[in-house]
Structures are given as C-alpha cells and as structure tokens.
Structure 1
Amino acid sequence: MRASPSKSPQVLDPEQVLQGLHPLMLSGSLLISAAVGLQYLGQWRVMAWVFGANALRIFLNVLLSKVFARRLAPSVVEWARLAVNVSILAAIGVLAGWSLLLWSYVPFSMFWLYGMNGSGRGRALVYIGVMDGAALLSGCDPFEPLAFSLLAVLSFLMTEKRAELLQRSLEHIIEQREQLAWAQGELRLLHERAFEQEKFSSLGLMAAGVAHEINNPMAFVTSNVNSLYKDLKQQQPLAEPLKEYVDEVLPATLDGIKRVNAIVSDLRRFARGDPEVYSEYDPNEEAKAALRIVQGQLHHVRAELELGEVGNVVGRPQQLVQVLVNMLANAGQATAPGGVVRLSTREETDGIRVEVRDTGMGMTPETLRNLFQPFFTTKPPGMGTGLGLAVAHSIVTGQGGHIEVESTPGKGACFTLHLPRVAHRPSRSTGDRVSAAAA
C-alpha cells in the first residue's frame, strides 16, 4: 500500500507578511502624523517641526523599504527602520511635548515590529525602552509611558498569539487537504485494481467456458484416434508405412491428446467459481496440474518437479491448485531466462510440505513485510493487482496451514506451504467468503 503523505505545510514567510502589511502601516503612520501635527495648530514653529520630522521619518522608511532592502539583509533593514523611527519620535516628544496622540505611535508600531522570527520581540523591547527612557529623562509624567507601554506589550502578545493560532489553523487545513488528496488517490487506485480483478474474474469464467467447449470435440478426437489405433493393431500383416503409425505416430498422438485433455480438465476445475467441498485428494496430482496450467509462463526457465510420498489429504484441491498456480507464475516472472523454478512436496510429522523455489531476483525486507497485504504489488501498473498472494494466504490459513517465505535480494525466493493432513473446516459463512475470494 501506499504510505500516508509526509509533506509538511509551508510556514508563511515573515518578509511576505511585512510586505503585505506595509501599505496599511504606511497609511496608519501618515494618519497619526497628521493628527499629531494638527494638535499644535496655531503653534506654527512646533507644527512645522512636527510635520518636517514626520516627513523625514516616512521618507527614510520608504527609502529603506524600496532601495536598501535590495542590498541589505532583511534583519539589517528592520533594525535600521527601528532606529530611524524611535529616534525621530523620541526627538519629537522631547521638543514638542509628550502628547497622547504621540504615544499612540507606540502600540501602533507593535504591529509592524511583530514578525514570525525571534527578533520581533527584541525590536519591540528596544523600541519601548528607548521611548520610555527619553520620556522619563525629559520629565514626562511616568504614568503616560507606563500606560502606553502596557498597551503596546499586550498588543504585541495578542497579535503574536492570534497569528500563531491562525498559522496552526492554516497548517491543519493544509494537512487535511493533503490527506484528502491522498485518500482520493488511494480510492482511485483501489477502484482501478478492483476493476482489473473483476476483469480477471470474467476472463476466468470465459476460460472455463472455452475449456468446456474444447472438452466435447476432444472427446471425439480421443475416441476416434484410440479406435483407429486399436483397429490398426489388429490388422495383420500391415503395410510398412502403417507399421510406423502403429509403433510411433499414434502412441505419441494419444499421449499428446491425453496431455491436452488433462490441461483442459485442470483449466475447467481451476476456473470454476462454485464453492468447493472438502474431499480427499492427492497433493502430488494437484501439483502436477498446477505446473501444467502455468507451463506457458515458465518456458524461459527450467521447471523442475520433485514429488515425495505424501499420501492423500483432506481439503479443497481446487484452492491448492490456485495457490500453486499463483506462486509458480510469480516465480517465473521473477526469474531470468535460464533460471530454475522448482516445485516439490514431502511429508511432515503433522501434515505435508509444499515448496516453490526459484533462482530469481529475490525480495527486499520491506517487500517481505508487506507481501501478503491486499493490493500490495511491486509489478508495473497493469501487470498485477496485488491480490494473488493475499488470497493465497487466506486460503492456506483458512485450511489450518501457514506460509513461510525466505528470500534474499539477488538470490531467489522460497515459498513453503505447511498444510495439515486434514484441513480445518471453518464456519459456512467464512468458508464461502474464502471461496468467493479465491474465485
């Protein structure tokens, strides 16, 4: 299966935040400057000094933001702006008096002094310290700087906390969107694989129908060739060309027909979708049937069959064939031309042991951990659904057995089936579900 998304949401860039707030901060600074200047209406010298100092402050701020910001580091520019603003405002306070409108600069400045990096708090403390120090040294009432400093600190902290909460909310929303996109991708993948599985099921039913149709004419061919062989054997003496038919051609033909009939019978039994009843069977015969079914997929390797004396067992032979067909096909796909795929059986103390061993590419530890997970596959898209081994695992464990897998990258793999002598019989509902999945 695919892993869940691990991409973390992007954090907002502090410089982007400042750039976005810059027009509003400039407008607010102009408004407060105009209000402070108009407070001294009639005191033209003071009014001119206030307007001139504020105009210089605003000009230097614009110069730092538009010109020097391209040449200097952002932190250097912000500290320079801090020095310009706090020095000019402190000078206005000392020369023109510390009016309440002038003190409103302090909490207002906290908004542009705030940043998402660690220097925001330091700049804010320096700003408040310089303003309060200049006010106290010039004889200002101590409660005025105290009141506005408290308001500034609270404004800064509330702004910082609110931005932090908004950032968390944004990260949560982005994470939910990524999880939703990942879930949609997984759902789409599952839908595609379910569609492929349905297609394979339809192909299985069609194969069963084709095998059934082949079975009838093969019965006529078998009967006719067998009759011809018997009639020719009874004709004495035979012409020389006919002797070759009786001694070599017809026996070889009957042997080929027998193999075709066996393959057709195996295919019909393998593709049948009906729930299979428990019965006594010979595992060696089912192993031979599975090897015949996948013989076409093993043409590039050397297929070896090593059968021991295992006797009969009780279980579902059709399901065993399905498990072996899947494992033999996988072994053939994982093995390069000239390699070996070996199918072997032998008796154990409490049952039988069936091995499918290959000399293929092997598997990594990660692949081994996820091998029997539904829809897990290492094959390219369109080459597998990732259901074969999951169904095989369900079949074997459903009959009371278990599967062991040994593999090393580059050194092949070995699937070992341990089956009991008498398969366990699960409840009817469970057995039907396994049979339906196997079909």
Structure 2
Amino acid sequence: MDDQPRSAVQAAERVQRGIQGIAGIGATTVNLALFVAFWGQWRVVLVVAGVGVVLALGNGLVLEWLVGKTSRARVEAMRMVLNVAGITLAGIHTGWSVLVWVFVPYNMLWYFGLDPWVRPRMALYLGVITTVALSTGAEPVTAVAFSLIGIFGYLVSEKRGSLLTQKHEELERAHQELQQLHQRALEQERLSSLGLMAASVAHEINNPMSYVTSNVDSLLQDMRDVPDLPGPLKEYVDDVLPATLDGIKQVNAIVSDLRRFSRGDFEGYVSYDFTAEVRTALRIARSQLGHVRVEEALAEVGRVTGRPRQLVQVLVNLLVNAGQATPSGGVVHLGTRREGNQVRVEVRDTGSGMSEETKRHLFEPFFTTKPPGLGTGLGLSVVHGIIKAHGGRIEVESELGKGTCFTLYLPNVPPLPAEKTSGANLLAAGR
C-alpha cells in the first residue's frame, strides 16, 4: 500500500476510535430512555436490555478485537448485520417506538468511509431496516423521516470525517517538510564547515610546502654547480631530486586547487583554459579514483568563457560519483572535445548504473541512493544548476549493471550572466 492511502486509513481509524466512546454513551442514554418509556412491560424491557448488552459488547469489544485479525471491511459488514438484527428485534418488540428509530440514523452518523464499500453497506443497512419495519407495522412517515435523517446525517458525517482526514494529512506533510528543511539546514551548515576547513588546511599546508620547495630547489641548483660529483650524488642530481621536486610541485598544485576550490565568494565570468581546469578537477578527485583505471581523452579545447571554479566543482562531483559507483578494477573515462561553438565533456564509468526510477529523480535536491553519511543528495542538483546557469545542458545514459555516462554541453560563451547561480556549495557529491 502506498504511504498516502495508508496514512489516510490510519487517520480514519484514529477518528473512529476517538468517537466510539461518545457513541457508546449515546447508545446507553437511548436505552435508558427506552427503559423508562416501557417500564412495567418487563418482556420489552428485557429484550431492550439484552439487545443493548449484545450490541455494546459486540461493537465495543468483539468486533474491535477482530479488526486485528481480519480486514476492516469484513468487520464493518459484521457490525452492520449485528446492528440490523438488534434494531429490528427491539423495533418489533416496542412496536417501532420513536426511541428505537433514533438508533437508525445514530448508527449511521459515526460510520464513515474506512473502505470503498461503506456507502453500499449503509444503503443495505437502511433498506433492510426500513423494509422490515414497514412489513411489521411501523408508521411510513416515521420510517421516511428517520431514513432521511440517517442519509443526510451520514453524508455530513462522512464529509466531516474526510475533511478531518485531509487536515491530518496536510499537517503530516507540513511536519515532514519542516523536518526536511531542518535536515537541509544541517547539511548546508556541514558543507559550509567543510569548505572553511578545507581552505584552512590548504593554507596551513601551503606555508611549510613553500619552505620545502625552496630548499629542495636550492639543493638541486647547488649540486648541479658542483663539478665532478661522485656517482651516487650525480644520480640524485639527474633523477632523484628532479623527481622529488616534481612531486612537491604536484602537492603544491593540489593545495592551490583546494584553496581556490573552497572559496565561497561570487565568481564572475572570465576567460580561462578549459583543459587546465579539467586537469585541476582530476587532481582533486584522484583520491576517490585510486581503485579504478582512469582513462583520459582530453582534446585541446583552448580558452572558453565561464566560471572556472564552478566547472571544477561540476567535474569533481561527476568524477567522485563515478568512482563511488564503480567497483575495483573498473574504468572511469573523462573526455573533452570542441564541437563547433560549444565544448563537449563526457564522464563515463563501468559501475552499477541506475534504474529508470532513479534517473527520473536524479537532479532533485536531496535525492540520493547512497547510504546515510555517504551522500547528501546535493551534488547533482548543484551540477544541474551550474550547467543551466552557463547556458549548457546535461544528458544522462545509464543502465543497471552496465554503468553511467554523463555528457555535458557548454557554450564557448555563456548567455547573459545571472547575478547569482545555484550551485556554489563546496564538495557536494551525491548520486
């Protein structure tokens, strides 16, 4: 059963349980009035008392116990038979007293739509009682009057119950939306904290790395100036120290990328080297791709206009997602090329793929298929917002068990820039 229908049924169940106590008091009061009206006619009093006890126990205990054992529709059908039998028995013995007729619309007032058969059941209930009453000497006018009260009273009761259920569902939805907003606020705060932490860590690493870079470079230059170096030291000059310096420069590049990537200020459109920014994204995402083989097909795109930091954010999201979706030994492919007045970027993996249902919700904020703690559901909505703000588009191809391919198309020059763009959050990754 879907969540909404289940919620409606549960709400209706709560409403009915809430009014059963009051309904029982009303039935007891009418029975007392019957005792007073027929006091001295002991046979009638005994019948009314017996009917009252059986209906009270049957409606209040036995049938409610059966709700947990069988369907609500079946229980309500048994309740209808029990009440028809009790009312007709009391009606025949009292000569269809007006006080007995009170039970007819009274029972209908607190029956309402818990299942699709409630209206046919109420029509059968009223038809049987009216038929038996008219065939055993009841006044037609009285029968018609109380039948009309029952019909319209039931319709009013049903409408009121429906409105109460609807209001309950609206409150439930509002409560869920508040919970989601609260969760989103927590996620935004966490992402903001991550950005500040990344910027701080990058800054702290940058200072000692500048000393290391300077010292190793100076050592290499000094050793190159020394003539007739021994063989082992000459190997250091030719191979070891240059390789070490290259490694240090890579660390410095990563630190620089992180510092630039974690900045949260507004970024205007500028002309930038597209391929250089793609390589920056690869360096940042490399730690998430160590278990897969990364294929690069980076054609020389040249310079384009846009927001380079946001392009890096898009590619980091897609590459991290691809790495997380791909098992060890799989392949993540990143390709770029120019197509006329636009740039085509392809991020393809050989991972688990996505179902059609997942693809329909792919770019919705806070939608994620990842376990709690591994994804916020913000990443692809951010990616979508950035690409749209650049005047581009995203195409997604995916099949369960066969991997996923994201293809981005970005114009060389975006349309008129917006003052703000959705998707400036840091490191939001989630498929």
With normalisation by structure 1, the TM-score equals 0.79
The answer to whether 1:364 aligns with 2:339 is no
The answer to whether 1:418 aligns with 2:393 is no
Q: 1:51-80 CA distances to partner (integer Å, 9 max, x unpaired)?
A: 133124224415644788869954443343
Q: 1:8-39 CA distances to partner (integer Å, 9 max, x unpaired)?
A: 244459899788645543442343443355xx
Q: Say if 1:31 and 1:8 are closer, same or farther in 2 by CA, change over 3 A.
A: closer
Q: 1:426, CA displacement in angstroms?
A: 0.8
The answer to whether 1:57 aligns with 2:44 is no
Report matched runs for 1:386-425 at 5 Å. 386-425=377-416
Q: 1:134-167 CA distances to partner (integer Å, 9 max, x unpaired)?
A: 549xxxxxxxx34433432333234323322332
Q: Of 286, 289, 301, which residue of structure 2 is paired with 1:298?
A: 289
One-letter identity of the residue aligned with 1:326: N
Report matched runs for 1:101-120 at 5 Å. 103-105=97-99, 107-111=101-105, 114=108, 116=111, 117=118, 118-120=120-122
Q: Which residue of 2 aligns with 1:186?
A: 180
Q: Of 125, 128, 152, which residue of structure 1 is paired with 2:146?
A: 152
Q: Secondary structure in 1 aligned to 2:94? A: helix
Q: 1:279, CA displacement in angstroms?
A: 3.3
The answer to whether 1:242 aligns with 2:233 is yes
Q: Which residue of 1 aligns with 2:33?
A: 31
* Cα separation, 2, equivalents of 1:113 and 1:8: 22
* Cα separation, 2, equivalents of 1:372 and 1:16: 43
| Greater Rg by CA | 1
Report matched runs for 1:13-92 at 5 Å. 21-22=23-24, 24-36=26-38, 51-62=41-52, 64-65=54-55, 73-90=78-95
Q: Secondary structure in 1 aligned to 2:168? A: helix
Q: Which residue of 2 aligns with 1:94?
A: none
Contact preservation (8 Å) 1:205, 1:273: no
Q: Of 373, 376, 384, which residue of structure 2 is paired with 1:382?
A: 373
* Cα separation, 2, equivalents of 1:435 and 1:185: 22
Q: 1:113, CA displacement in angstroms?
A: 5.6
Q: 1:179-233 CA distances to partner (integer Å, 9 max, x unpaired)?
A: 233223222322222222222232233244335xx2x443333333233323322
Contact preservation (8 Å) 1:310, 1:345: yes
Q: Secondary structure in 2 aligned to 1:57? A: helix
Q: Which residue of 2 aligns with 1:339?
A: 330
* Cα separation, 1, equivalents of 2:129 and 2:284: 85
Contact preservation (8 Å) 1:113, 1:120: no
Q: 1:315, CA displacement in angstroms?
A: 2.6
* Cα separation, 1, equivalents of 2:273 and 2:244: 27
Q: Say if 1:129 and 1:245 are closer, same or farther in 2 by CA, change over 3 A.
A: closer
Q: Which residue of 2 aligns with 1:8?
A: 8
Contact preservation (8 Å) 1:113, 1:123: no
* Cα separation, 2, equivalents of 1:278 and 1:76: 77
Q: Secondary structure in 2 aligned to 1:418? A: strand
Q: Secondary structure in 2 aligned to 1:294? A: helix
Deviates more, 1:9-18 or 1:176-185: 9-18
Report matched runs for 1:249-328 at 5 Å. 249-328=240-319
- RMSD over equivalenced CA pairs, Å: 3.4
Q: Say if 1:77 and 1:382 are closer, same or farther in 2 by CA, change over 3 A.
A: same
* Cα separation, 2, equivalents of 1:146 and 1:33: 25
* Cα separation, 1, equivalents of 2:131 and 2:366: 65
Q: Say if 1:54 and 1:252 are closer, same or farther in 2 by CA, change over 3 A.
A: same
Instruction: For structure 2, list consecutive stretches of 5 or more residues without a partner in the other structure.
Output: 64-74, 112-117
Percent of matched pairs sharing the same residue: 39
Contact preservation (8 Å) 2:191, 2:426: no
Q: Say if 1:199 and 1:131 are closer, same or farther in 2 by CA, change over 3 A.
A: same
* Cα separation, 1, equivalents of 2:17 and 2:409: 66
Contact preservation (8 Å) 1:363, 1:409: yes
Contact preservation (8 Å) 1:372, 1:389: yes
